[in-house]
Chain A
Amino acid sequence: MLVGDIETTLTPEEVAYARKQLGREPNALEWSMIDAEWSEHCSYKSSKPIIAQLPTTSPRVLLGPGYDSGVIDIGDGYILTLHIESHNHPSAIEPYGGAATGIGGVVRDILCMGTTPIALMDALKFGDITKSDHSKWIMKNVVRGIADYGNCIGVPTVAGEIEFDECFERNCLVDVACLGLGRKDRLLLAEATCPGDSIFLIGGSTGRDGIHGVTFASRTLAADTEQERSAVQIPDPFTKKLIIEATLEAAETGIVRGCKDLGGGGLTTGLSEIADKGATGVEIYLEEIPIREPDMSPIEIMISESQERMLLVIKQGQEGVLQDIMQKYGVAWARIGQVNSTGMITVTRFAKPLAYLPTSFVANAPIIQRETRSPQTPKNDFESPMPRDLEKVVLDLLGSPTIASKEWVFSQYDHEVGIRTVAKPGQADAAVLSLPNGKLAAIKVDGNALLGYLDPYLGGASVLAECCRNVVAVGAEPVAMLDHCQFGDPNDPEIFWAFSMAVKGMAEFAKALSLPCVGGKVSFYNQDGVTGKAIKSSPVVAVLGLVERPEHVTKMAFRDEETVIVVGTTKRELGGSEYYHSMGVSGLSPPALDFELEKRTQVGVLDCIRGGYVTACHDCAKGGLVVALAEMAIASAKGASLDLRSVAADAMRDDELLFSESNSRFILTTDKPDRLLKKLAEHGIPAAIAGTVEGSELSLTLREHRLRWDLASTRDAYLNSLQRILEPWQK
């Protein structure tokens, strides 16, 4: 609403609450600061009570949600930090800069804990690129934005996932996650705890880019989005690289008391949060802040989201040390304020006070309750016709954008820099990175909008289950997760219901697995202002696992003459499957998730991997059994002859068996089939031998079909499809 002459996203209740709390009328600068910090994007004002359902603790968790990154203790004095961000609205308008600055933001979240960013992941969702040139343009530029930024700062992009659905045509989703590595005794917090300390702003100058970025992210995209480009920040990865080096060097000297990245909400958010967390106050000298344009108003300076800026709280008397380090790297710096004990955020310009607000008041928006309502669901399920040519259907599915190899994307990312990427993109279900204490980190992001749409509760739980299976498949034990919830306008009770159910699904499954959630993000308003259509519910999760020993690392490629074993039971559950999606329908019955069976299966498979019984492992998910088997054959350039009649399954048609996306399934290969089956049986997991790796074709025997594909055609469909769609002129 309009307050004075300031256009804000505050509701009349919030305006009344602010006036009552302060006991006076805030001025224009103060209203702008309150507006930025109380935006949905910064304050989580309506999502907080919902996400509180997620479990957040375990013996390994040093810090959970509420900080810039979650912190996991991996022993031997080392910590891993983990965070996820999205840059959906900016990327929908300016995909290159939007995606690049998304990386910039999440890297700062890792950096400000005093840890080195060692890996990036991205979960992307675009419209149907087989039909829409706009979505092709968005995708190409998002990928190039991530590549140019991540490659330049020298952080490998090691894992990700991409989904395509027409609901993302005007609202693409760009989620980026970052993993950091550091020493426990050097952990920094975003807290200003000691009055007298100096507050430094380092890095880029403050400009007019990114003004109102958070309030822009807290409403739906308008019809004429071209006008909103100024709310998208400008990426500068070279400056970021220098900031990374300079910040880590400063942290190493022990002069840094606290560190905070400047992202959404700019200086307002950064300053109020460090003072609120540190139970102190801050005074800021606006005239000291380097600005890009001379006539910037105090409001613009306080809410600008210009990139490549960090706040450092430097111990009193150590300012000179910081200045020398910044000098070495050529990073600009300014001492912009001081920590005090007033409990207030004071903004001054040449000693004239401009704003004076309690930090706890600014940093803690009033919680709002939103209405929820479950939607009406249709009654009649879809009955698919039996396809005439199953072999062709499989090839088409292998080449469909969501399933096809993402090599076109990940070959543009430097996934090797840092020399720790042991399992690289395309080789295994999750990326595996070596760590200095001899252990390895396994990391993966997953999403499934088709399931989220059918059943948000099951969708939330299943996405997390799949992501955990991916991490288990490489030989790791899941130790922490991040959630990222992306929905339409939360004022719509059905959308808020879907959000609540998705979080509930994730939370209940996380509890069943004793998996702590160490951070997350909520992104609402992913809705098209023109058509009024919201995206399908799109929870995204990231799971971090630890591999205890290098010999446990397991990839997915077949090996000659080994036995192929299918773990789990395939049920007739085709709702939300890629098979149905390829026919343009979603169906009604998504795969069920038996929490107890899923947990038992993951624990059992990990036990078998650690026992040395498994030579290759692959999770069976999108596209079903046939896609998982084909992916293993393609990864190894080896064929297999398999009989799926012995695999544990409900009675169903051959196509349904191939494409059902039932949970709790893996495909394993082994050179010790008897011992592996015995071990799986001990864990109470259904498993059966399907055949052996041999020859140069993939052949499947089903109840009513014998299907064969030569490897060349499966490889061509799977590996070259994205390039054919995006760059038909190449090769």
Chain B
Amino acid sequence: MKVAVVQFPGSNCDRDTVHVLKNSLKLDAKLIWHNEFNEAYDAVVLPGGFSFGDHLRAGIIAAHSPATKAVRKMAAEGKPVLGICNGFQILIEAGLLPGALLRNTTLKFVCKWTNLQVEANNTAFTCAIEKGSKVRMPIAHNEGRYFADDEQLDRLETAGRIVMKYVDENPTGTSRGIAAISNEDGNVVGMMPHPERASDPALGGVDGMKIFESMLEWTKC
């Protein structure tokens, strides 16, 4: 399976993500400069970082770039699309996922390991994880406070589109502890935690690997 990791100007988790996909999962993963990206891949990851310096608003410039048009096509074709951190912000700004990512309630950048519960496993990035299981991954962001109105949140809950919630502590003050959501078909997932940073026991855990393994599983069925 061919996976593209899109590199926008200002992306900074791009190489980390490619490293895990390529060297830990042995996938055919490539770093693709945003101008050279097209929909001819089996899956795409929008990595973390500060695309276009987060100018105007986090993720918004990348969301209106030609690369995101190709992402949109892949999403419509049902291919796995993962947005991590800044990638999640881009998917939200592009309207591929609902809601908004606001400034953390602490009004500060927060970098720490978090405890999460997998709330849905009918998605391309959690299908290999048991529903209700606890996983640990780090977060690192300033604008990751997921927000939507109650009506929207109820709809997401009912449709099983809340993919992961923070447990024990809600470090950024998100609505209902949300850390990751999906689109209706489950092939597009946005998450604030960094799975690529939790893919090596020496770095503190390997739960992130399950996110990428799910992607492989999903494309097999």
Give residues in A with beta carbon < 8 Å to B: 144, 147-148, 151-154, 237-239, 241-242, 328-330, 410-422, 424, 434, 550, 553, 730
Contact = CB atoms under 8 A, between A and B. Distances in A.
Interface in B104-155: 106, 108-112, 138, 140, 142
A419 B196 contact: yes
Interface in B14-35: 16, 19-20, 33
Given A416-B140, A416-B194, A422-B203, A241 B109 contact: no
Interface of B: 9-10, 12-13, 16, 19-20, 33, 48-50, 52-55, 106, 108-112, 138, 140, 142, 194, 196-197, 199-200, 202-204
B164 to A, nearest CB: 18
Contacts of B138: 416
B12 A241 contact: yes
A414 B140 contact: yes
A238 B140 contact: no
B33 A328 contact: yes
Contacts of A330: 9
A328 B33 CA distance: 9
A148 B138 CA distance: 18
A417 B140 contact: yes
A330 B142 CA distance: 26
Given A151-B140, A411-B112, A329 B16 contact: no
20 contacts: A147-B109, A151-B140, A152-B50, A154-B50, A237-B50, A238-B9, A238-B10, A238-B52, A239-B53, A242-B9, A411-B112, A412-B111, A413-B111, A414-B109, A417-B12, A417-B197, A419-B16, A419-B196, A419-B199, A422-B203
A353 B48 CA distance: 49
A109 B191 CA distance: 35
Contacts of A144: 108
A550 B16 CA distance: 20
Contact of A412 (B49, B109, B199): B109
Nearest to A408: B108
A139 to B, nearest CB: 13
Contacts of A238: 9-10, 50, 52-55
Contacts of A420: 203
Given A152-B54, A154-B49, A417-B12, 18 more contacts: A147-B108, A152-B10, A238-B10, A239-B53, A241-B9, A241-B10, A241-B50, A242-B9, A410-B111, A411-B108, A411-B111, A412-B108, A412-B109, A413-B111, A414-B140, A417-B197, A422-B203, A424-B204
A411 B110 contact: yes
Given A238-B50, A238-B52, A550-B202, A418 B110 contact: no
A178 B51 CA distance: 23
Nearest to B11: A154
Nearest to A420: B203
Contacts of B19: 419
Contacts of B48: 417
Contacts of A413: 109, 111
A228 B83 CA distance: 44
Nearest to A241: B10
Most buried by A among B12, B50, B200: B12
Contact of B106 (A147, A416, A422, A730): A730
Most buried by A among B9, B106, B204: B9
A553 to B, nearest CB: 8
A332 B142 CA distance: 29
A438 to B, nearest CB: 12
A252 B111 CA distance: 32
A237 B194 CA distance: 22
Contacts of B52: 238
Contacts of A418: 16
Nearest to A440: B202
A239 B50 CA distance: 11
A730 B110 CA distance: 14
Contacts of B140: 151, 414, 416-417
A553 B111 CA distance: 22
Contacts of A415: 111
A663 B9 CA distance: 48
Task: List the 10 closest pairs (A to B, CB-CB), nearest first.
Answer: A154-B12, A238-B53, A414-B140, A419-B16, A152-B50, A412-B109, A416-B197, A414-B111, A422-B202, A147-B109
Contacts of B197: 416-417, 419
Contact of A416 (B20, B49, B111, B202): B111
